[in-house]
Amino acid sequence: MFSITVRDHVMVAHSFRGEVFGPAQRLHGATFVVDARFKRTDLDADNIVVDIGLATSELGTVLAALNYRNLDEVPEFEGVNTSTEFLAKHIADRLAERVHAGALGEGAKGLSAIEVTLHESHVAWASYERAL
């Protein structure tokens, strides 16, 4: 199994609902350093997993929709706890849509899975992996 991973980041504000979140129920924020990992069984005709330039720019596009925002005010997330693990899935799902739409190139149709990891600090991170 092969994979390539590209890294970018996003800076957001949000708050959580639920006693389990303690002081994080207050409006606060986070930098998420985001790793998007693309997996496949065999390399394509160019000997690569996916065009790393497109992978990077598509990750950037997905993150731009979140960047410098207060997630509490994004209609799509109304009533949702935008936890690190939830956001990992959100980003992976958006990337999967881009793959299926052909935005990562024809070769990307051979991808088998995407794993997205969000680092919220030097001591905590969350991941979500899904099939394509």
- Interface residues for its own copies in 96-115 (CB under 8 A)? 105, 107
Closest separation in Å from C-beta 61 to its own copies: 15
Interaction pattern, residues 34-63, with its own copies; x per rule: CB under 8 A: ---------x--xxxx-xxx--x-------
State the Cα–Cα distance between residues 5 and 7, nearest whole angstrom. 7
Cβ-contact 108, 99 below 8 angstroms: yes
118, 33 Cβ separation under 8 angstroms: yes
In angstroms, give the least distance from the CB of 63 to its own copies. 12
Could you tell me if 118 and 32 are in contact, meaning their C-beta atoms sit under 8 angstroms apart? yes
Q: How far is the CB of 65 from its own copies (least distance, A)?
A: 12
Per CB under 8 A, does 67 bind its own copies?
A: yes
